[in-house]
Structure 1
Amino acid sequence: MKTIFNQAYEQSMSYQEFLDLMDEKIKDGLSTGHEQNEILSNFTKLNRSRMKRVTKTVELLPELTEKIQNITEKQIWLVLTESWCGDAAQSVPVLNLIAESSPNIELRIVLRDDNDPLMQQYLTNGGRSIPKLIAIDASKENELFTWGPRPEKGTAFFLEQKEKFGGVTAEVKEALQKWYNDDQGQSLQQDILKQY
């Protein structure tokens, strides 16, 4: 019987294929995911430019690069995401850069709405929060570790802002994006480093 990881892997795409899909959706005024509206398509467009910036500006931590390059067993990093997700726009490019630094890590993008059985196994406080990284071994049967939907420090900052403003307000979303810009992928890398 196929594992849930196998099924997700079969429906997955490379990071470049995901970027190409985003570009196609932007051209058509759409987003990925089952729900379609102008807000989500606008976020997809904004996120595509954020992803370009993150890819150009993030520098990998030397200690993480060293650990990643010393991985000897093949790993597959399944990343549940959608094009409209602001957290994903800041984190998925960093995960891709980390994966690219090792010949033994294969990063695969898995669309959340098309892979609900996998998403249901990795809920965050009962919610379908993304991005969610599930690292598995080459057999596609064993989970190695998970990460997401935000860096630990980002989650702490978000909760602090949410309390300050009494919910997930525009001010909270703006403050979180500023936190990501200032952090430049460092906290996410520290989180991944703890896995090795």
Structure 2
Amino acid sequence: MPIFVVHMNYEAYKQLFDEILDNPNPGYPYNNEQYFNYTRLNKSRMRRWDKQLVLDEKLVNRIKEISERQHWIIITEPWCGDAAHIIPFLIRMTEQNDGISYDIQLRDTPPLLIESYLTAGTKSIPKLIVRDMAGNDLFVWGPRPVGAQTLREQLKADQADAEASKVALQNWYNEDRGKSLQEELVRRFLR
């Protein structure tokens, strides 16, 4: 069974994937073949984004201009498909300014911070919480870009099956290449 860490950096988060995938008897929910396979796929997606992602110059400049220290909390889980397309971008953003620290927290591991950041009453992830150093929330973003959310809601309304929905969202993220996420965050940082 993997060791779950409440707070972690990106390297520890990626190590968690390896612990899950290398374990012949992974714990819940990874003992479910579907969740296990999501995790394997998401590891591959993150690795691809780590190599290919390009941050928008406007966003990079805005992040570099941030003069007050910030702490970003990213709530996620290895099985989350949306997170695999978003977390690499968020981490790369934090690397643009030494005044930004971050930690990754698992949605389903205490202290269950997600309970304070529900989306329409659900524990939807990933979730980005940007705080000042006094612990005040500056803004919260997530669980996915507006375009992906609109697509998800349309697929649900159309009663698309789970596999068709996963493929459609995967295609959306691949075609968008992080552009929508970055545009949304530029608008947040410009407030």
TM-score, length basis structure 2: 0.90
CA distance in 2, matches of 1:31, 1:44: 12
1:109 equivalent in alignment to 2:104: yes
Does the 8 A contact of 1:77 with 1:136 survive in 2? yes
What is the aligned partner in structure 1 of residue 136 from structure 2?
A: 142
How far did residue 138 of structure 1 move? Answer: 1.5
The superposition leaves residues 54-113 of structure 1 with CA deviations (integer Å, 9 ceiling, x where unpaired) of 111111010000000011111111011110100000111111111111111112100111
The superposition leaves residues 148-193 of structure 1 with CA deviations (integer Å, 9 ceiling, x where unpaired) of 11011211122123223x1553111110110001111111111111
**5+ unaligned residues in a row in structure 1: which ranges?**
1-9
CA distance in 2, matches of 1:29, 1:156: 38
Q: Which amino acid aligns with 1:142?
A: N
**5+ unaligned residues in a row in structure 2: which ranges?**
none
- In the alignment of these two chains, the number of paired residues is 184
How far did residue 116 of structure 1 move? Answer: 5.1
Tell me, what secondary structure is at the counterpart of 1:195?
Answer: helix
Tell me, what secondary structure is at the counterpart of 1:80?
Answer: strand
CA distance in 2, matches of 1:180, 1:126: 25
CA distance in 2, matches of 1:15, 1:101: 15
Structure 2 counterpart of 1:77, from 72, 80, 85: 72
TM-score, length basis structure 1: 0.88
Fraction of identical pairs, as percent = 39
Matched ranges for 1:77-96 at <5 A:
77-96=72-91
Does the 8 A contact of 1:22 with 1:83 survive in 2? yes
What is the aligned partner in structure 1 of residue 20 from structure 2?
A: 25
Please list every run of at least 4 consecutive aligned residues from structure 1 whose deviation after the TM superposition is greater than 4 angstroms: 29-32
1:162 equivalent in alignment to 2:156: yes
How far did residue 42 of structure 1 move? Answer: 1.2
CA distance in 1, matches of 2:110, 2:120: 19
CA distance in 2, matches of 1:48, 1:59: 19
Q: Which amino acid aligns with 2:130?
A: A
